[in-house]
Structure 1
Amino acid sequence: MTMTQTVHSTRSIDLVTGALVLSLLFSGAIFGFFYAWVCSTMWGLDHADPRVAIIAMQEMNASVRNAVFAPAFFGTPLVLGAAAILALRSGARAAGLWVGAGALLYLFGGLFLTMLVNVPMNEALGALHITLDTEVAEASRIWTDYSDPWKVWNITRTVFSGLAMVCVGIAISQRNA
C-alpha cells in the first residue's frame, strides 16, 4: 500500500465513521420523537377533556412543521443513505448494508407511513372547529375516532424508526467487518 492509498484509506474511514455517527444521531432523534408520543403525549391527551385534547393536538400538529423537526424527519433517510454509500465505497460492506437497510426501514416505515397515514389524519383533525363550547360527547367521539388509529400507526412508525436505529448501531459495530 502506498502512502497516498494509506492517507486516502484513513480519510475514508474517518468520513465513514462520521457518517455512521451522524446516522445514529438522526435515527435516534426521530425514534425519540415518535417514542415520546407513544409513552406520554397520547396517554396524557387521552385522559384530558376531549375538547382540550383535540385543540392541543391541533396546535401540536401545526407547530411541528418547523426547522428543528424537519432535518430529523426528512433528513434521516438521506443521511443513512449517504452513510450506506460511503461505507460501501470504503469497503465496509457489512456496515453499508446494515445502514442501507436502516435507511429503507425508516423511509418506508417512518417517513412514507407518516405522510400517507398520520399527516392526513392530522389535517382532517386540524380542519375541525372545536371549542370548549363543543358538546363533550361529540368531542369524545371525534377524539376516540382519531386517537385510537393514530396511536396504532404511531407505534408502527416508532418500531420502524427504532429498527432503523438498531441497524445503524449494528453498522457501526460491523464497520470493519
Structure 2
Amino acid sequence: MYENTFPNKRFQLTLAFLKKHIDTQESILDLGVENPFSKIMLAEGFKVTNTSGEDLDQDQSVFKKQAANVVTAFEIFEHLLNPYTILKEIQSEKLFISIPLRLWFSPAYRSKTDAWDRHYHEFEDWQLDWLLEKTGWKIIDRQQWTNPVKKIGIRPLLRLFTNRYYIVYAERK
C-alpha cells in the first residue's frame, strides 16, 4: 500500500487500527501540523484538520475552536511537557494516541539540530494507560509493535523483538 512512504510499517498499522474503530465520516482533529500520516488519512477519505503549530503546552484553545468527533495524536505526546492538561481539555469523545515506547537500551531521543524535536516523555505502556485513566478516558483497544532497523549491532537486534510503538483508542468516560 504505502510501500515508498517512510515509515511504512508504522503507517500501515496505524491506518489499520484507525479504520478498525472509526469510519471516514467522522471529523478528526489531528494534533500537530500537516504531516505524512495526516496526508495518508486524507487520501483514505478521512476528514482531517491539523492544528496550526501552536504550543499545546501553553495554549489548548484549539479544542474549543475546532469541533471534531475524534482527536488523533500520533507521536506527539512524547514531545509535550504537560500531556495531562491537554488530555483534560480535549472536547471530543474519541481519542487515538500513539507513542514510541521507552527503550531500556537506548537514551531518550533528542535531535542535535532541531530544538523542538526531542522527547520529554518516553512512556512505558502502563504510564500512558494511567495518564488516560486519570484524565477521564477509558481505553477501548490497544496495540504494540516492533520497529526493526536494517543495521547490524546489539540495538538493532533488540529492536527485532522489543516493542517500540504503542497505540491506544480511548473514549470519554
> Structures share a fold, TM > 0.5?
no
| More relative contact order, 1 or 2 (CA 8 Å, 6+ apart) | 1
Tell me which structure has the larger Cα radius of gyration.
1
TM-score, structure 1 length as denominator? 0.23
TM-score, structure 2 length as denominator? 0.23
